[in-house]
Structure 1
Amino acid sequence: MNPIRSCLPILLTAVLAACSTPPKPAESTVPEVAVRPTPPVATVRPAAPASTSPAPQAAARPEYLDPNSPLARQRTIFFGYDDFGLGPEDQAIVQLQGAYLARHPEVAVRLEGNADERGSPEYNLALGNKRAEAVQRALRLLGVKDTQVEAISWGEEKPRASGHDEAAWAQNRRVDFVYPAR
């Protein structure tokens, strides 16, 4: 006898048993009690856990590159003639820039000190440097690390305004916050 033919009745029985409907339960002698249907319960699923990995920084645009950001619009501190002290009006800019740098220790800034054309080139370089270092000291007091700040001087070499009057000179006596372009 063929072994497949001998297994065929067993297979047929198993297939038919799997397709059959289960028998109805016997009638109970317990009287039925009216039961109100319970309203469906809303299932609350827990929120997905927050990702512990940092978001990719390459896609995010730094605040200092956004032209609409106050950080990008308020990057210059102006000085009086032959002066390198910070005035009360400069504190808002120093606070704004310092708070950002303290929150972002990975960001570095270059403080570029400038002077107007009056005075010798050597004197103007020294004055621009004193201005940049004054801003650097103020940032340090706000928690900005020295490794984040480079203070340099252009002296009179990079004027913002051309002209030989007080209006132009006032624009050229300054320190600019220069961030990397990325």
Structure 2
Amino acid sequence: MSLYDDAVLVLKGYEDPADPAQGELSQVYLDHLAQHPDGMWKVCGTGHLTASALVIDPERGRVLLTLHRKLRMWLQMGGHCEPQDASLADAALREATEESGITGLTLLAGGPVRLDRHAIPAPCHWHLDVQYAALAPSGSTEQISDESLDLRWFAYEEVASVADTSVVRLMERARAA
């Protein structure tokens, strides 16, 4: 199965009964893929799917955020799909592992926890982000990557004071899942 086919299956199966707008957004993603066979890749100038994961340490009630080098915002780990990614989940886990430096991350079962479409600077227009939650193993140690200015753990209650609403919603949804 191709990454494109996996994305279509994931999006067709995705729902969030607590937020009907998420179902509508899933359809926006599916329509985009139907109109753009290259919609999984960065080269798709009208926008493309990305995969991300919020790294959670439930034992200590905290999440790991990266201070994004280009955007200068505290965000979850994530980025572009790569040809070696067999699935969106694989892409999200790869990105989370690369950007956090933590080995042994595991994605929360049940698939993505949220979708977030956001505008990005040219030459592309949109990131259609498929967001997962990744659990950090007990006692894990983070390691900053070249893509980050900083990497830091934040208590759940601190996230709203450092991150935008998309990250706060992702954290809330991941905790609920």
Q: Which range, TM-score by smaller chain?
A: under 0.3
Q: TM-score, normalised by structure 2?
A: 0.27
Structure with max Cα Rg: 1
Higher strand proportion (structure 1 or 2)? 2
Q: Larger helix proportion, structure 1 or 2?
A: 1
